[in-house]
Chain A
Amino acid sequence: MTATGPDRVPGPEPEGFAFEERPRLLEGVRAYGLIVAMWVRSTMTYRASFVMTTLGNLAATAFDFVAILLMFTHVDALGGYTLPEIALLYGVSATAFGLTDLLLGSVDRLGRRVRDGTLDTLLVRPVPVLAQVAADRFALRRAGRIIQGLAVLGYALLTLDIAWTPLKVVMLPLMVVTGAAVFGAVFVGGAAFQFVAQDASEVQSSFTYGGTTLLQYPPTIFAKDLVRGVTFVVPLAFVSWLPALYVLGREYPLDLPQWVAFLPPAVAAGCWALAGLAWRAGLRAYRSTGS
C-alpha cells in the first residue's frame, strides 16, 4: 500500500472529511495536543514511577555537565573558555534540545513503526501523520532534561559578568526557542530518513544527541572542517554557538561577520521548510510491510 494518509495532500480533501473546515496546521496541533494529554494522563496514573523516571532522566543528562565539572577540577579554561562561559553554551544547547526532545523526541521511533507495520494504523486516521508520530508515547519525564539545562543556564547567568544590552537580553530566550526549532527540523528530517533506512535510528541520534553534546563545548576546540560542517551543512552552530558567542562578546568561529548571530530565526525557518519537504517525500515513498 502507498501512503494515502492526509499528509499526502496537497489537493482538495475528500468530501465529508470531518476536519475540512479547519486549516491543516491547526488541525495537526489540536490532534497533537489531544494525544499528548492522553499520554500525560496515563503517565500520571503511576505518579511515583513518573517522579523517579524524571529524576533519573535529570541525573542521566546531568552527567555530561558533571564530566565538564570534573575536567575543571584540573584546568581553569578549556579551549580558552572559562567554566561559566561553557556553562552558558551548555545551558542553551541542553535547554533547546530538551524542549525538542520533549515535544518531538518520539519521532525517532518511526523506523520501528515502519518495520512492524503499525505506521499503517496512523495513515488511515484523519489526522496528520507527523502530529501522531510526534505525540506518540509522549514522555513528560523528558522535562528532566529541560530542568537540568535551565539549572546550568541559571548558574551561568549568575556567575558570568556580561555587559547586558537590550539586544543581548532578547537574544537569550530567542536562541533557546529558535535552537529548539533547528533541533526539531533535524528530528523530523532524521525521521524522514527512517522511511528509507528503517533501522538506522542511530544515525539520527548522532545528529541530535551528538549535536547537543558538540554544542556544549566551545567551537575553538574542534577542527575547522567540523565547525564548517555544523555551520553550513547541518546548521547546528546557529542553535547556541553563534548567538551565545554574541552574548558573551566572543569572536565567532571561521571569521564569520557579527550579523550571523541574528540569523537563527531565518535558519530555523529554512530548516523546517527542508525538513517538511523531506517528510513529505518520505511519506510518499512509504511502502507498507503488509504485516
Chain B
Amino acid sequence: MRLYAVVAAGSFRRYATYRTATAAGVFTNTVFGFILAYTYTALWAERPQLGGYDTSQALTYVWLGQALLMACAMMGGGFEDELMERIRTGDIAVDLYRPADLQLWWLAGDLGRAVFHLLGRGVAPMFLGALAFDLALPGSLWTWLAFLVSVLLGLVVSFAVRYLVALSAFWLLDGAGAMQVAWLMGMFFSGMLLPLNLFPGLLGEVARMLPWSSLLQVPADVLLGKHTGWGLVEVYAFQGGWAVALLLAGRLLQRVATRRVVVQGG
C-alpha cells in the first residue's frame, strides 16, 4: 500500500513541475468555460428548466466540465500514451518483472496525476467562473464531500476504461486508433458536450447507463443536489459497480496479454 502511495505522490509532483503549462491550461479552460457558459445561457433563455436544471445550475455544469476535463483525461493526457509506448517497445517486460501489481501501479500514478489536475486546473477556472457567473454551488460541506467521493469513483472508472484500451496495444501494437475511439466515446457519453439529460429518448437512456456518465454527469448531479439519501447510495453503487467491473476486466485482459509477452534479448 505504501508503495502505491509513493507512486501516486511521485506522479502528483511530476505534473506539478510544469507550472507555466498549468497556468496556460487554466487560461484555456477559462476561455472555453466562458464560451460554453454563454451558449448555455442562450439555450436556457429559450427553455428555462431544460433537463431539470435552472440557468445557474446549467452554468455550474459548464464550469464543472472544465474543472474535471483534465482530471478525467476525457481528451487524453493521461497515462495511456506512456503505457502503450512501453508495450510497443517491450519495456513492459521490465514492469512485469517488478514486485508490484501492474494495474495498481498505473492506477496509483494516474490518480496522482488526476488529483494534481483537479487542484491545478480545476479549482482556478471554477473560481473564475463563479466570479463571472451566478453559479449554484452548494453551501453544505456534506454535499461537497459527497461530490468528491463521486469524483474519485469517476476517476477510477476513467482509469479502468483507458487501461483496458491501452492493453489493446499488446495485440494492435499501435493502439493510437483504439485510444482515439475511446476519447471520442468519453467526450460524447460523459456529458462533456451537453448534459446527458438533454440527449433525446433512447440515446439519452443508453448514455446514462454507460460507464462514461460516471466521469461528469453523475458527479455534477451530486454537486447540484440531485442525488441525496438513498439516491446517493444508488449512484455510488452505479459508479462503484462500473469501476469494479472494468478493473476486473482489465485484470483478465492483462493476464491474457502477458502470456503473449516474448522477451527478446539484446
Known contacts A52-B177, A200-B23: does B194 contact A67 (CB below 8 Å)?
yes
Does A26 have its Cβ within 8 Å of any Cβ on chain B?
A: no
| Cβ–Cβ contact B180 & A53, under 8 A | yes
User: Interface 1/0s, chain B 38-51, versus A by CB < 8 A?
Assistant: 11011100110010
Q: Of all chain B residues, which has the CB nearest A198?
A: B20
Q: Of all chain B residues, which has the CB nearest A78?
A: B42
| Cβ–Cβ contact A70 & B198, under 8 A | yes
Does A270 have its Cβ within 8 Å of any Cβ on chain B?
A: no
Known contacts A49-B177, A71-B194, A74-B47: does B25 contact A213 (CB below 8 Å)?
no
Chain A proximity of B15: nearest CB distance (Å): 12
CB-defined contacts of B199 to chain A, threshold 8 Å: 70
Q: Of all chain B residues, which has the CB nearest A220?
A: B42
Interface centre among A60, A63, A198, A202, by most B CB within 10 Å? A202
Please measure, in the bound complex, the distance between the C-alpha atom of A201 and the C-alpha atom of B177, giving whole angstroms.
Answer: 24
A contacts with B: majority SS: helix
Chain A proximity of B18: nearest CB distance (Å): 6
Does B184 have its Cβ within 8 Å of any Cβ on chain A?
A: yes
Please measure, in the bound complex, the distance between the C-alpha atom of A201 and the C-alpha atom of B43, giving whole angstroms.
Answer: 31
Chain A proximity of B233: nearest CB distance (Å): 31
Please measure, in the bound complex, the distance between the C-alpha atom of A79 and the C-alpha atom of B46, giving whole angstroms.
Answer: 8
Does A197 have its Cβ within 8 Å of any Cβ on chain B?
A: yes
B21 is contacted by which of A52, A74, A202 (Cβ under 8 Å)? A202
A200 is contacted by which of B24, B31, B194, B200 (Cβ under 8 Å)? B24
Does A59 have its Cβ within 8 Å of any Cβ on chain B?
A: yes
Does B141 have its Cβ within 8 Å of any Cβ on chain A?
A: no
User: Interface 1/0s, chain B 170-195, versus A by CB < 8 A?
Assistant: 00001011001101100110000110
| Cβ–Cβ contact A223 & B43, under 8 A | no
Does B32 have its Cβ within 8 Å of any Cβ on chain A?
A: yes
| Cβ–Cβ contact B24 & A197, under 8 A | yes
Please measure, in the bound complex, the distance between the C-alpha atom of A205 and the C-alpha atom of B183, giving whole angstroms.
Answer: 19
Does B28 have its Cβ within 8 Å of any Cβ on chain A?
A: yes
Q: Of all chain A residues, which has the CB nearest B183?
A: A60
Report A210-226 residues with CB < 8 Å from chain B CB.
210, 213-214, 217, 220-223, 226
CB-defined contacts of B184 to chain A, threshold 8 Å: 56, 59-60, 63
| Cβ–Cβ contact A206 & B27, under 8 A | yes
User: Interface 1/0s, chain A 180-214, versus B by CB < 8 A?
Assistant: 00000000000000000111111101100010011
Known contacts A49-B174, A200-B24, A223-B38: does B32 contact A74 (CB below 8 Å)?
no
Chain A proximity of B182: nearest CB distance (Å): 11
Please measure, in the bound complex, the distance between the C-alpha atom of A63 and the C-alpha atom of B192, giving whole angstroms.
Answer: 11
CB-defined contacts of A201 to chain B, threshold 8 Å: 24
Report A21-61 residues with CB < 8 Å from chain B CB.
49, 52-53, 56, 59-60
B20 is contacted by which of A66, A200, A214 (Cβ under 8 Å)? A200
Please measure, in the bound complex, the distance between the C-alpha atom of A95 and the C-alpha atom of B130, giving whole angstroms.
Answer: 34
Please measure, in the bound complex, the distance between the C-alpha atom of A271 and the C-alpha atom of B28, giving whole angstroms.
Answer: 22
Does A73 have its Cβ within 8 Å of any Cβ on chain B?
A: yes
Known contacts A66-B193, A70-B200, A77-B46: does B31 contact A221 (CB below 8 Å)?
no
Does A167 have its Cβ within 8 Å of any Cβ on chain B?
A: no
Please measure, in the bound complex, the distance between the C-alpha atom of A200 and the C-alpha atom of B21, giving whole angstroms.
Answer: 5
| Cβ–Cβ contact B177 & A221, under 8 A | no
Interface centre among B27, B31, B50, by most A CB within 10 Å? B31
A78 is contacted by which of B34, B43, B177 (Cβ under 8 Å)? B43
Report B1-42 residues with CB < 8 Å from chain A CB.
18, 20-21, 23-25, 27-28, 31-32, 34-35, 38-39, 41-42
Does A116 have its Cβ within 8 Å of any Cβ on chain B?
A: no
Does A233 have its Cβ within 8 Å of any Cβ on chain B?
A: no
CB-defined contacts of B32 to chain A, threshold 8 Å: 206, 210, 213
Please measure, in the bound complex, the distance between the C-alpha atom of A74 and the C-alpha atom of B46, giving whole angstroms.
Answer: 9
Chain B proximity of A247: nearest CB distance (Å): 22
B-side residues, CB < 8 A to A, are 18, 20-21, 23-25, 27-28, 31-32, 34-35, 38-39, 41-43, 46-47, 50, 174, 176-177, 180-181, 183-184, 187-188, 193-194, 198-200
7 A-B pairs within 8 Å (CB atoms) are namely A53-B177, A70-B199, A75-B46, A78-B43, A202-B21, A205-B28, A221-B42
Q: Which 6 A-B pairs have the closest CB atoms?
A: A221-B42, A206-B31, A200-B24, A202-B24, A75-B46, A206-B28
Given contacts A49-B177, A70-B199, A222-B38, 6 further A-B contacts (CB under 8 A): A63-B184, A67-B194, A70-B200, A74-B46, A199-B21, A202-B28
